[in-house]
């Protein structure tokens, strides 16, 4: 194995650890947050936002949030699978792992911004489109052999379509 390949694997492993650690913290935070007791005005505003955005055909922040979160989750699963295969000597999975790590980071940022209702969502959606395209290209050769790559390809496709509609 060349030094460059070793550095890529080290960077990918570090990235996966950080992304995974962040996702675990978010899941714990979400579980601890009880929506049933508070936030009735927040929910009414969110529903109003959904209705106004639906009239324009533009995805809501909630839909963008869900597309980003799903893409992030599936990409992380793909990364884990790629690392297993790389550890078994399948160096052809390095590009797929790196692209999946990148799309996980981009879609996580998209999901977080959408959760905030940020005016930066359109900018992040455009950047996420590029990451999704790159990941789809890297996953495509593997979709007939690895279920994780196929799921990642589909999640990226769905996220990309949502981002295109939002950024339009």
Q: Is residue 45 part of a domain?
A: no
Q: What residues make up the domain containing 153?
A: 3-29+60-167
Can you tell me the distance from the alpha carbon of 61 to that of 53, in angstroms, rounded to the nearest whole number?
9
In a domain, 39, yes or no: no
What pLDDT does residue 152 have? 97
Could you report the per-residue pLDDT of 103-149, keeping only the tens digit for each? 999 999 999 999 999 999 999 999 999 999 999 999 999 999 999 99
The interaxial angle of helices 121-139 and 147-167, nearest 10 deg, is: 150
Total domains in the fold of the chain = 1
Residue 15 covered by a domain: yes
For the chain, list residues with pLDDT below 70.
Answer: 1-56
Cβ-based neighbours of 159, under 8 Å, separated by 6 or more:
67, 68, 70, 71, 103, 107, 110, 128, 132
pLDDT at 24: 46
């Amino acid at each position: 194995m060349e030094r460059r390949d070793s550095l890529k694997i080290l960077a990918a492993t570090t990235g996966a650890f950080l992304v995974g650690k962040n996702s675990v913290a978010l899941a714990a935070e979400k579980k601890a947050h009880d929506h049933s007791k508070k936030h009735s005005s927040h929910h009414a505003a969110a529903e109003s936002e959904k209705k106004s955005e639906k009239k324009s055909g533009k995805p809501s922040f909630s839909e963008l949030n869900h597309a980003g979160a799903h893409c992030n989750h599936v990409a992380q699963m793909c990364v884990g699978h790629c690392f297993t295969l790389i550890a078994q000597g399948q160096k052809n999975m390095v590009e797929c792992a790196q692209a999946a790590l990148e799309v996980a980071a981009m879609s996580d940022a998209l999901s977080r911004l959408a959760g905030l209702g940020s005016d930066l969502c359109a900018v992040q959606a455009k950047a996420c489109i590029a990451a999704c395209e790159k990941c789809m290209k890297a996953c495509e050769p593997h979709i007939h052999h690895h279920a994780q790559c196929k799921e990642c390809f589909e999640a990226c496709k769905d996220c990309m379509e949502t981002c295109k509609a939002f950024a339009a």
